[in-house]
């Protein structure tokens, strides 16, 4: 009996200590992993969020870039870290939703190894044409692709990227034969489109924006079902395929097992951070839409996207080496 009482007292002390830690959270800087190099889109979002989150949560947010394997390296690292609220990941659709289906393997299970904390942004894609191309509208594209199968080509940032998958889903649904030309990243694909090496390109609005404004590229359609605030007159792929909607979502995740009270503190602080005028001001020149959603909503979105992208990957038979 005495041993049992000592065991109960020890457990109560441990629990009291843990609750005190949770009540005091955060008491030190928070680490935010980014699976891509500094200076890219995810890194930019992470730094804008980190600056604003530091104001709402009361501790510095340290951005740590861990590039490798399209974000898979950083995501796998997070899965092994303690769920203490001090280790977070800025995750996007490519590493969380697409990689499990196009890579031979990944060292994590998206729906079970992480705690979704909040979705923060959504970034749709654009199908654009080079100014050197004869394609000016989606109707031009569809007409030529049907009249001369295989005569058109489009570029993307690589095999198995969200750009590639979205375009292949469109092609498959429309029964079009358009040749895919993969490049090593958005920079190379943009250069190819500007030079006229490829007539068509699917890429992010952020990457295409400066060249659209200069007239070197013109927009054919958006992958988003919703109208784009920056380009309200641009047609969506959903005009041709009901329900078509492919966009890159960015959110914050923690390792699985994050205590509920810490999750609540994090979620509330992130919501306040993205609502700050400074956050919106720092993103105003991008196409990125601030689309905050709760842990439950973000979790449901991840699950729905995994189902959608799995079907698209299998239909297009996309596989990375």
Q: Are residues 116 and 129 in the same domain?
A: no
Q: Are residues 178 and 119 in the same domain?
A: no
- The answer on pLDDT for 2 being more than 70 is no
Q: What is the mean pLDDT of residues 99-123?
A: 96
- Return the closest-CA partner of residue 99 out of 67, 69, 74: 69
Q: What is the mean pLDDT of residues 126-138?
A: 95
pLDDT score recorded for residue 21: 57
- CATH at 206: 3.40.190.10
Quote the domain boundaries for residue 181. 124-239
Q: Are residues 168 and 74 in the same domain?
A: no
Q: Does 141 map to a domain? A: yes
What is the rounded distance in angstroms from the CA atom of residue 50 to the CA atom of residue 19?
A: 26
Beta bridge partners of 201: 128, 155
Q: Does 173 map to a domain? A: yes
What is the rounded distance in angstroms from the CA atom of residue 54 to the CA atom of residue 218?
A: 39
DSSP 246-296: -EEEEEEEEETT--HHHHHHHHHHHHHHHHSHHHHHHHTTSS-EEEEE-HH
Q: Does 321 map to a domain? A: no
- The answer on pLDDT for 10 being more than 80 is no
- Domain end call among 219, 239, 259: 239
Q: Are residues 100 and 35 in the same domain?
A: yes
> pTM for the whole thing?
0.86
Mean pLDDT computed over every residue of the chain: 91
- CATH at 281: 3.40.190.150
Q: How many domains does the chain have?
A: 2
Q: Are residues 235 and 94 in the same domain?
A: no
Between these two residues, 297 and 204, which has the higher pLDDT value? 297
Task: Give the torsion sign (CA, 23, 29, 33, 39).
Answer: positive
Give the model confidence (pLDDT) of 14-57 as tens digits.
454 444 356 899 999 999 999 998 988 899 999 999 999 999 99
pLDDT band at 171 (very low <50, low <70, confident <90, very high): very high
- Domain end call among 218, 239, 260: 239
Q: Are residues 101 and 144 in the same domain?
A: no
- Domain end call among 220, 239, 258: 239
Counting beta carbons within 10 angstroms of the beta carbon of residue 238, is it exposed (0 to 12), middle (13 to 18) or buried (19 or more)? middle
């Amino acid at each position: 009996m005495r041993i049992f009482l000592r065991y109960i007292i020890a457990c109560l002390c441990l629990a009291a200590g843990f609750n005190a830690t949770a009540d005091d959270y955060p008491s030190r800087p928070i680490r935010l992993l980014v699976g891509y190099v500094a200076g890219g889109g995810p890194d930019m979002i992470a730094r804008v969020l980190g600056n604003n989150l530091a104001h709402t949560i009361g501790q510095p947010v340290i951005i740590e870039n861990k590039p490798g394997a399209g974000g898979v390296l950083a995501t796998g690292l997070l899965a092994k870290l303690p769920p203490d609220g001090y280790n977070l990941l800025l995750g996007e659709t490519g590493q969380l939703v697409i990689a499990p289906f196009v890579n031979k393997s990944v060292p994590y299970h998206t729906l079970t190894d992480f705690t979704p904390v909040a979705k923060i942004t959504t970034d749709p894609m654009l199908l654009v044409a080079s100014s050197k191309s004869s394609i000016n509208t989606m109707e031009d594209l569809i007409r030529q692709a049907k009249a001369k199968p295989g005569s058109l080509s489009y570029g993307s940032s690589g095999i198995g990227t969200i750009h590639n998958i979205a375009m292949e889903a469109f092609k498959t649904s429309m029964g079009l034969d358009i040749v895919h030309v993969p490049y090593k990243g958005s920079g190379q694909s943009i250069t190819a489109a500007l030079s006229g090496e490829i007539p068509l390109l699917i890429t992010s609005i952020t990457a295409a924006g400066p060249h659209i404004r200069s007239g070197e590229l013109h927009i054919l359609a958006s992958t988003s079902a919703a109208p784009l605030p920056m380009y309200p007159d641009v047609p969506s792929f959903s005009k041709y395929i009901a329900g078509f909607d492919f966009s890159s979502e960015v959110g914050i995740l923690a390792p699985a097992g994050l205590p509920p009270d810490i999750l609540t503190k994090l979620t509330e602080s992130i919501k306040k951070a993205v609502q700050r005028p400074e956050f919106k001001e720092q993103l105003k020149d991008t196409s990125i839409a601030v689309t905050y959603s709760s842990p439950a909503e973000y979790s449901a979105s991840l699950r729905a996207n995994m189902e959608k992208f799995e079907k698209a990957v299998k239909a297009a038979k996309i596989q990375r080496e």
